[in-house]
Amino acid sequence: MASALFYLPDVTSGVLSPEDSRHALTVLRLQKDDEIDITDGKGHLYIARLGSPGKNQASFEVVSRSEKPRRQASVHLAIAPTKNIDRMEWLVEKCVETGIESIHFMKCARSERKEINLERLQKVAVSALKQSRQVWMPALQAMVPFKEILELPVQDKFIAMVDESNPVSLRQSLRKNADTLVLVGPEGDFSEEEAAAALDKGFRKVSLGPNRLRTETAGLVAVVTMNLASSQ
């Protein structure tokens, strides 16, 4: 059984966050000299030993540090958040678990949701990172207008469209070692102007399969498809 994994962006502090301290001391009932794993979300895994517990404060000393390089090809998703925020929390959890470098939220012409609570989604992401024992924290970006997403500097860029005149699948379009971004639109799909603007900026239209998918399902299918292409 692996040790509990904690997320702490700056380990030089030598102290877990108040929330993680409580978790370590009260829930896991860890004691002085017990070992824990810590990641800074920047590719490092630390093994640390707990010091004498303070009041709701778990201090530690780093025992060893190992490093994992970023994977060769990066996976990026830009999505118009659904009205039901639970579905976005679910999507963030699943994207982080299966592997992603960045998630961007965009405001589209037909978006029903105009704002998101990034802090809440960030917590979901941290929890999924720890659960899946990864050491690179994906970037969650605040919501921006659709047009700004078109300027993201990613090699291979796709727009998922429900379009029967478009038989090209995402899977067929992916290159093995390329950084890839897929756009997934709102429940009412992209507007014609948005689609045209994306094509104009070098995005290619792709299909995610024969079925009509909910927004968050489309997002996850795109990410799993990109991961399968990048990992083999």
Cα gap 150→199, rounded to integer Å: 10
By CB under 8 A, residue 209 contacts a copy of itself? yes
Residues 6+ apart with CB under 8 A from 84: none
**CB distance 144 to 106 below 8 Å:** yes
**CB distance 100 to 76 below 8 Å:** yes
# chain residues binding a copy of itself, by CB under 8 A:
27
By CB under 8 A, residue 98 contacts a copy of itself? yes
Closest CB 32 distance from a copy of itself, rounded Å: 29
- Could you say which residues in the range 120-179 bind a copy of itself, by CB under 8 A? 131-134, 169, 171-172
Pairing of strands 204-206, 156-160: parallel
**CB distance 74 to 101 below 8 Å:** yes
The stretch near a copy of itself (CB under 8 A) out of 75-83, 109-117, 137-145, 213-221 is: 213-221
Residue nearer to a copy of itself on the CB measure, 57 or 169? 169
Residue nearer to a copy of itself on the CB measure, 99 or 186? 99
Residue nearer to a copy of itself on the CB measure, 56 or 72? 72
Among 12, 64, 165, 232, contact with a copy of itself (rule: CB under 8 A): 232
Per-residue CA distances from 161 to 75, 126, 176, 206, 215 (Å)? 19, 30, 22, 6, 11
Per-residue CA distances from 195 to 150, 162, 168, 199, 209 (Å)? 11, 11, 16, 6, 19
Residue nearer to a copy of itself on the CB measure, 162 or 199? 162
By CB under 8 A, residue 211 contacts a copy of itself? yes
Closest CB 170 distance from a copy of itself, rounded Å: 9
Residue nearer to a copy of itself on the CB measure, 44 or 171? 171
Among 8, 108, 184, 220, contact with a copy of itself (rule: CB under 8 A): 220
Phi, psi dihedrals of residue 19, rounded to the nearest 5°: -65, -45
Ramachandran class of 72: left when φ > 0, alpha when ψ lies in -120 to 50, beta otherwise: alpha
The angle at the Cα of 155, spanning 190 to 215, to the nearest 5 degrees, equals 30
By CB under 8 A, residue 117 contacts a copy of itself? no
The residues binding a copy of itself (CB under 8 A) are 90, 94, 97-99, 131-134, 169, 171-172, 209-214, 217, 220-221, 224-225, 227-228, 231-232
